[in-house]
């Protein structure tokens, strides 16, 4: 049940997966909720004909909404159902963690979830624990991967970890091998070797 708060600024997020569908019903129901609760609708973000499987940058309105959330242009995000926000559990946890850190509340109409209530806040706190666990696991994997890469390279350099990390970071930014070699003043073959060892490591991961 939505809590009444006439000072709360809410952003509505609407999404449908195909052009044959419409967001009209989602919008009408969420506007009715906002009216009953006395919320002020600050903005409406709509991704029409876009799959929820796409990440943040594959959904322009969703991406803009998160930018505006960072700018604190509203106090709450309201969506018709949790699957409107995305289809990936990992992406959803990241999204909820971002909202929690920004102090932005979330209302999900179909699930009757309102994080401005005590029970909703408890859910946010629990999701924060899962997000922290995931960050720790990712950090451990990255450290293990760099150590494995350095061991396979067998470089005599005094700072092998930093050099491998720099190469991989530039590669993730879309830089070509020659650009990386030129930027770091390394040989092209050395850059190739670092990237290939990293690729082999990922292929071996379960």
Q: Which residues are the active-site residues? A: 17
DSSP helix/strand/coil, 157:
coil
Cross-sheet strand order for the sheet of 113-114:
40-48, 9-16, 76-79, 105-108, 113-114
**CA-CA distance, 83 to 52, in Å (whole number)?**
7
Residues 6+ apart with CB under 8 A from 81: 108, 109, 110, 111
Buried b (16+ CB within 10 A) or exposed e, 169-184: ebbeeebebeebbeee
The beta-strand segments (E) located in the chain are: 9-16, 40-48, 76-79, 105-108, 113-114
């Amino acid at each position: 049940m939505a809590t009444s708060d006439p000072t709360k600024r809410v952003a509505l997020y609407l999404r449908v997966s195909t052009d044959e569908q419409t967001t009209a019903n989602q919008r009408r129901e969420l506007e009715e909720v906002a009216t009953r609760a006395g919320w002020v609708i600050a903005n409406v973000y709509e991704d029409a004909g876009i799959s929820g499987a796409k990440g943040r940058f594959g959904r322009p309105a969703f991406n803009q909404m998160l930018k505006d959330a960072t700018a604190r242009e509203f106090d709450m995000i309201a969506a018709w159902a949790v699957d409107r926000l995305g289809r990936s559990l990992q992406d959803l946890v990241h999204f909820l963690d971002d909202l929690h850190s920004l102090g932005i509340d979330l209302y999900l109409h179909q699930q009757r979830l309102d994080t401005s209530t005590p029970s909703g806040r408890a859910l946010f706190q629990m999701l924060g624990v899962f997000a922290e666990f995931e960050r720790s696991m990712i950090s451990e994997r990255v450290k293990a991967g760099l150590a494995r890469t350095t061991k396979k390279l067998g470089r005599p350099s005094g700072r092998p970890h930093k050099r491998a990390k720099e190469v991989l970071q530039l590669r993730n930014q879309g830089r070509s091998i020659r650009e990386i070699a030129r930027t770091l003043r390394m040989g092209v073959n050395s850059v190739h070797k670092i990237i290939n060892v990293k690729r082999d490591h990922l292929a071996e991961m379960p």
